[in-house]
Structure 1
Amino acid sequence: MADAITAERAAPASLLTASVVYDAAPHGDAMASARAFTADFLAAAPAARPVPVEDEHVELAQLVVSELVTNAVRHASGLCRLVLELSRDALDISVLDREPAAPVLRGHDPGRIGQHGVEIVVAVCESLVVEPHPEGKRVRARLSLLR
């Protein structure tokens, strides 16, 4: 994990934004750190929105973050950046990495061991978008915070 974690007020669409950079090499630490970073970020949400984020949504956000960071660390080299953008009704979770190829949605296969990350993200999020980025790609998932 990089030493610098940034948190700042964002554009009007987002109430709060934070980002952190991870080195792809020690991937075991990156996932645990990303989950903790997400929980800490959402714990600060009452300062930016009228109600706290429910525990169920915190857990889903940690699951999505873990899956997206895992993909970046396993399939891209170098650094990856996790960006969290909180709005009134949703959390946008983005992971930027240096691999231009999009993650592959393999479809439901209960016999397959592993490689269900994108399937999980699609199942729990409103949307999943892969955008080209000058140094690779940005994978952005939107998690609803409504009941």
Structure 2
Amino acid sequence: MNETPEGTEPHATPFPHAISLSAEFEGNESIAEARKLARCFLADIQNVHGLPVSDRAQGLVELVVSELVTNTRKYAPGPALLTLQVRDGSVDIAVWDSNPDPPTILPPDPARVGQHGLEIIMAAALTFQIHREPVGKRITASIMLADDKDADVAGR
């Protein structure tokens, strides 16, 4: 895994400007390493930048990172790029891979065993986008950093 911060070091970019970190995965790193990178990034967001990160956000970000990087490992040969970027009170989790084919998003089916990752991400994320790139595709999900006590998560 090669960490390549965009612009300056992630700690050097003051909020409200974007705070970001990118890491390239060559294929031999574990999914646990990607989750650890996300966990450390969010810890820096709290400890260095003083932004609140709820336990719910921590868990959702790790889940989204795990699901997206897992899908990249399963369906796209070659390297992948994970980018975490904080702005406007949320964190964007983007994963680029070399496969231009968009993932198949299956309808909810409680009887189906497995293949619920994108379904779960879409239910939990503020936004979910799939973009074709000149090479491959980029999937981005956005998660709020702090819980909104007045929000109706189920009604989104």
TM-score range, shorter chain: 0.7 to 0.9
Amino acid at match of 1:109: D
Aligned twin of 1:74 = 74
Which of 16, 19, 27 is residue 16 of structure 1 equivalent to? 19
Give, in whole Å, the separation in 2 of the partners of 1:120 and 1:71. Answer: 13
Give, in whole Å, the separation in 1 of the partners of 2:51 and 2:76. Answer: 37
User: Aligned runs of 1:2-81 on 2, under 5 Å?
Assistant: 2=2, 4-6=3-5, 7-8=9-10, 14-24=17-27, 26=28, 29-46=29-46, 47-48=48-49, 50-81=50-81
User: How many matched pairs?
Assistant: 142
Paired residues of 2:92 and 2:140 also in contact (CA < 8 A): yes
Give, in whole Å, the separation in 2 of the partners of 1:77 and 1:13. Answer: 36
Structure 1 residue ranges without an equivalent (≥5):
none
Amino acid at match of 1:104: T
Displacement after TM superposition at 1:83 (Å): 0.1
Q: Deviations for 1:71-100, whole angstroms, at most 9, x for unmatched residues?
A: 111100000000000124100000000000
Q: Secondary structure at the match of 1:44?
A: helix
Amino acid at match of 2:22: S
User: Normalized per residue, which structure has more strand?
Assistant: 1
Greater radius of gyration (CA): 2
Give, in whole Å, the separation in 1 of the partners of 2:4 and 2:90. Answer: 21
* TM-score (structure 2 length as normaliser): 0.82
Displacement after TM superposition at 1:115 (Å): 0.8
Q: Secondary structure at the match of 1:119?
A: helix
Instruction: Rate the CA distance shift 1:64–1:135 in 2: closer, same or farther, 3 A.
Output: same
Q: Secondary structure at the match of 1:19?
A: strand
Instruction: Rate the CA distance shift 1:133–1:110 in 2: closer, same or farther, 3 A.
Output: same
The structure 1 segments of at least 4 consecutive aligned residues displaced by more than 3 Å after TM superposition are 7-15
